[in-house]
Structure 1
């Protein structure tokens, strides 16, 4: 009977230690999951902010302003428009000749 008691006592101790280890791992994994969810939320918020900034940077008024100021571009008028026909060779147009 004592041998059976010792084996059962060892089984209870082993299962108790295993239970403690499983609970510890479970809490650790839950903490990691919570941190990962917080990081995902932070990244999603940052992505949304960056998309808003991108849309703000790409407005047509801003693009037109930068084109005028930094690239010295001007709006198209019929006076400065050059028309090229489909049959013209690039070299004759570059020299100012007729196609």
Structure 2
């Protein structure tokens, strides 16, 4: 009978230690999940901010201003417009207006 009590006591102690370990792992994993969800929320916020910034950078007025300032582009005018026509001749003709 004494041996059975010792075996049962060891089984209860092993079960208790296993339960503590499982609870510790469960809490650790829950903390990791919370941390990952927090990071996902942060990344979503950053993505939304970047998308808004991208939309702001691509406005037609900004593109036109950058084209004028950095690329020295100007709007087309009839004085600099070239029209290309192809007639019966083998080489295309260039007509200036």
TM range (shorter): 0.7 to 0.9
Aligned to 2:26: 26
Choose between structure 1 and 2 for higher RCO, CA contacts under 8 A separated by at least 6 residues: 2
Assess, with a 3 A threshold, how the Cα gap between structure 1 residues 86 and 52 changes in structure 2: closer, same or farther: farther
Aligned to 1:6: 6
Q: Which runs of 4+ in 1 moved over 6 A?
A: none
Q: What is the TM-score normalised by the length of structure 2? A: 0.86
Runs of at least 5 residues in structure 1 that lack an aligned partner in the other structure: none
Which whole-Å CA distance do the structure 2 matches of 1:48 and 1:33 have between them? 22
Select the structure that is richer in strand: 2
Which whole-Å CA distance do the structure 2 matches of 1:34 and 1:14 have between them? 30
Which whole-Å CA distance do the structure 1 matches of 2:32 and 2:86 have between them? 65
Aligned to 1:50: 50
Q: What is the TM-score normalised by the length of structure 1? A: 0.84
- Count of paired positions: 93
Select the structure that is richer in helix: 1
